[in-house]
Amino acid sequence: MSGTPAACGVPLERAFAALRTLEPGCHACYVYDLDALAARARRFRAAFAALDPLTAFALKANGLPAVLERLRGAGVGAEAGSLGELELAAACGCAAEMRVLNGNGRTPEEADWAAREGVHSVNADHVAELDLLERAAAAHARPLRVALRVNPGIETPGHRYVATGGEEAKFGVSPGEALAAWASRGRWPHLALDGIHLHVGSQLTDPAPLERALEAALGMAEESARRGAPLGLINLGGGFGIAYDGGAEFPLEAWARRLAERVAGGGLAWVLEPGRWLVGPVGVLVAEVLWVKRRDGRRFVVLAAGMNDLLRPALYHARHAIEPLAPRAGASEPAAVVGPLCESADVFAEDAMLPPLEPGDLVAIRDAGAYGAAMASNYNGRGRLAELVASGGKLTRARAGETAADLVARRRNDVLIG
Ligand code: LLP
């Protein structure tokens, strides 16, 4: 959506004004361009078409039903990391064979749901989990296909909180454990334990770690076949990075070509789990400027959105491009763009070059479609923001903003329980 401050032909200022007629007290909102989302989904699927993978959108990036439904319409399934995400995927019309259950804290309820309602596959995080999945599959007399998550010891660049494939990471089993489990898969007669899952990190802009993950997966598949337990499924996870604040984007088509060449004719089933790449660039956080304060020559621009609305800058030192919707005339100068919460980490940019800004102006925080609203909280007694979607030049409020009254209404649910 970079360039014009519009979503799908709807100017963002108009979108915000329209929301204000519904929610007069609102000072910020998320806006997603669903047509751009569908175009990215088509581009992703076209790039990997030679492999014919299941593209399972990582719901944790954005769980708005309007987003999930649009992706489903573009042939994209869902990667769910919890019972809530499984239920959400199903409620949005995602069919059993399009759902992948992931996560490293499997509960009996998730295992039971997967066996009862059906999934394409389950990513199991460790060997003992297989016993739980086996019991659930046996109880429903329904086989479950399982990919064992392997920690390949692959380091990735970027913030350590989004690195998942290094030896320190909590995810997955060692290659040796995986090979032993596949070789003794007769222990779990109701599971089709023929898959490997790797997800080495997020916001990758260089395909090298994915290349290493692929080679690790192929090497293990070969070794497992040698031990009499051939694999049928490789799930390479997500991680495809986007161009935040002028940075590079993951070379999607080049990597897809390389992957297809490397594995042509292998007869394997494939799963990919993109999250950020699909939805990140199509979302924007629109926020009103509340105050402009100068102290010792430094300009602080206080927005009506804060770290409870978009946590990425505070948690990962992530930087999102920020621009006024209607830039005022005048020279750009540095500004600390901050939120209104009582936390020193509540900062979107330390010194963004921005033109003059006045209270009441609107700014767009770009590339906020992934891990934005999905990670929002009520911290500091703040309601989560409204989410708008634009499609075909039409604007819909897809989720209402929470008000102070909403927070007060659910302030207590006392039940005497002991
Ligand atoms: N598959 C698995 C198993 C995952 O854990 C994740 C994300 C994905 C797929 C999707 O990854 P993506 O394609 O979006 O990189 N909150 C952080 C990102 C955390 C990613 C967690 N796992 C952020 O805002 O940067």
Q: pLDDT tens for residues 351-386?
A: 999 999 999 999 999 999 999 999 999 999 999 999
Q: What is the pLDDT of residue 58?
A: 98
CB-facing half-sphere around the CA of 388: CA atoms within 13 A? 29
- Please identify, by atom number, the ligand 1 atom nearest to the C-alpha of residue 375: 16
Asked if the structure places residue 81 within a domain, the reply is: yes
- Please identify, by atom number, the ligand 1 atom nearest to the C-alpha of residue 238: 13
Q: Which protein residue has the closest C-alpha to ligand 1 atom 8?
A: 238
Q: What is the pLDDT of residue 4?
A: 47
- 238 C-alpha vs ligand 1 centroid, how far in Å? 7
Round to whole Å and give the CA distance between 372 and 308: 9
CB distance 182 to ligand 1 below 6 Å = no
Nearby residues of 266 by Cβ (< 8 Å), 6 or more positions away:
none
Q: What are phi and psi of 205, to 5 degrees?
A: -110, -10
Q: What is the pLDDT of residues 3-41, one digit of tens each?
A: 447 777 789 999 999 999 999 999 999 999 999 999 999
CB distance 273 to ligand 1 below 6 Å = yes
Q: Which protein residue has the closest C-alpha to ligand 1 atom 5?
A: 199
Q: Are residues 238 and 152 in the same domain?
A: yes
- Please identify, by atom number, the ligand 1 atom nearest to the C-alpha of residue 103: 3
Look at residues 239, 244, 242 and name the one whose alpha carbon lies nearest to residue 365.
244
Given 243, 259, 278, the domain boundary residue is 278
Asked if the structure places residue 1 within a domain, the reply is: no
Asked if the structure places residue 90 within a domain, the reply is: yes
Q: What is the pLDDT of residue 41?
A: 98
Look at residues 249, 324, 234, 251 and name the one whose alpha carbon lies nearest to residue 280.
249
- 237 C-alpha vs ligand 1 centroid, how far in Å? 9
For the record, the structure tokens of 329 come out as 């005339």
Q: What is the pLDDT of residues 133-184, one digit of tens each?
A: 999 999 999 999 999 999 998 888 888 777 777 778 899 999 999 999 999 9
CB distance 102 to ligand 1 below 6 Å = yes
Q: What is the pLDDT of residue 410?
A: 87
Q: How confident is the model at residue 68 (pLDDT cuts 50, 70, 90)?
A: very high
Q: Which protein residue has the closest C-alpha to ligand 1 atom 9?
A: 238
- 60 C-alpha vs ligand 1 centroid, how far in Å? 7
Q: Are residues 75 and 219 in the same domain?
A: yes
Q: Are residues 241 and 351 in the same domain?
A: no
User: Of 8, 26, 92, 342, which residue is the catalytic one?
Assistant: 342
Q: What is the pLDDT of residue 314?
A: 97
Q: Which protein residue has the closest C-alpha to ligand 1 atom 24?
A: 371
Residue of 100, 200, 202 with the most ligand 1 atoms within 8 Å of its CB, for mutation: 202
Q: Are residues 183 and 255 in the same domain?
A: yes
CB distance 201 to ligand 1 below 6 Å = no
Active-site annotation holds for 342: yes
Q: Are residues 188 and 252 in the same domain?
A: yes
Q: Are residues 98 and 21 in the same domain?
A: no
For the record, the structure tokens of 12 come out as 């963002």
- Predicted confidence (pLDDT) at residue 230 exceeds the cutoff of 90: yes
Round to whole Å and give the CA distance between 47 and 418: 58
Nearby residues of 90 by Cβ (< 8 Å), 6 or more positions away:
99, 117
Asked if the structure places residue 416 within a domain, the reply is: no
CB distance 151 to ligand 1 below 6 Å = no
Look at residues 321, 312, 314, 235 and name the one whose alpha carbon lies nearest to residue 276.
312
Could you give the number of structural domains in the chain?
Answer: 2
- 360 C-alpha vs ligand 1 centroid, how far in Å? 35
Q: What are phi and psi of 137, to 5 degrees?
A: -65, -40
Is residue 223 within 8 A of residue 179, CB to CB? The reply is: yes
Report the SS3 class of residue 342. coil
- Predicted confidence (pLDDT) at residue 2 exceeds the cutoff of 50: no
CB distance 366 to ligand 1 below 6 Å = no
Q: Are residues 247 and 367 in the same domain?
A: no
CB distance 275 to ligand 1 below 6 Å = yes
Q: Are residues 28 and 139 in the same domain?
A: no
Asked if the structure places residue 415 within a domain, the reply is: no
Type and span of the H or E element at 83: helix 83-91
% residues pLDDT > 70 (the chain): 99
Look at residues 321, 329, 388, 326 and name the one whose alpha carbon lies nearest to residue 362.
326
* CATH number, domain with residue 70: 3.20.20.10
Round to whole Å and give the CA distance between 122 and 100: 6
Q: What is the pLDDT of residue 329?
A: 98
Asked if the structure places residue 417 within a domain, the reply is: no
Q: Beta strand 269-272 with 54-58: parallel, antiparallel or unpaired?
A: parallel
Asked if the structure places residue 418 within a domain, the reply is: no
Q: Average the pLDDT over each of 79-88, 105-114, 243-252, 287-296 and give the range with the smallest value.
A: 243-252
Asked if the structure places residue 115 within a domain, the reply is: yes
Q: What is the pLDDT of residues 295-343, one digit of tens each?
A: 999 999 999 999 999 999 999 999 999 999 999 999 999 999 999 999 9
- What is the extent of the structural domain holding 317? 6-32+280-409
Report the SS3 class of residue 131. helix
Q: What are phi and psi of 347, to 5 degrees?
A: -135, 130
For the record, the structure tokens of 370 come out as 């992934």
Given 254, 278, 302, the domain boundary residue is 278
204-231 burial, b at 16+ Cβ within 10 Å, e below that, comes to bbebebbebbbebbbebbebbeeeebeb
Q: What is the pLDDT of residue 260?
A: 96
* CATH number, domain with residue 312: 2.40.37.10
Q: What is the pLDDT of residue 156?
A: 81
- 144 C-alpha vs ligand 1 centroid, how far in Å? 24
DSSP state, residue 402: P
Q: Are residues 167 and 55 in the same domain?
A: yes
Q: Are residues 142 and 249 in the same domain?
A: yes
- 202 C-alpha vs ligand 1 centroid, how far in Å? 5
Given 259, 278, 297, the domain boundary residue is 278
- Predicted confidence (pLDDT) at residue 1 exceeds the cutoff of 60: no
Q: Are residues 51 and 126 in the same domain?
A: yes
Round to whole Å and give the CA distance between 189 and 381: 50
Q: Are residues 137 and 209 in the same domain?
A: yes
Type and span of the H or E element at 230: none
Nearby residues of 288 by Cβ (< 8 Å), 6 or more positions away:
27, 28, 303, 304, 359, 360, 361, 362
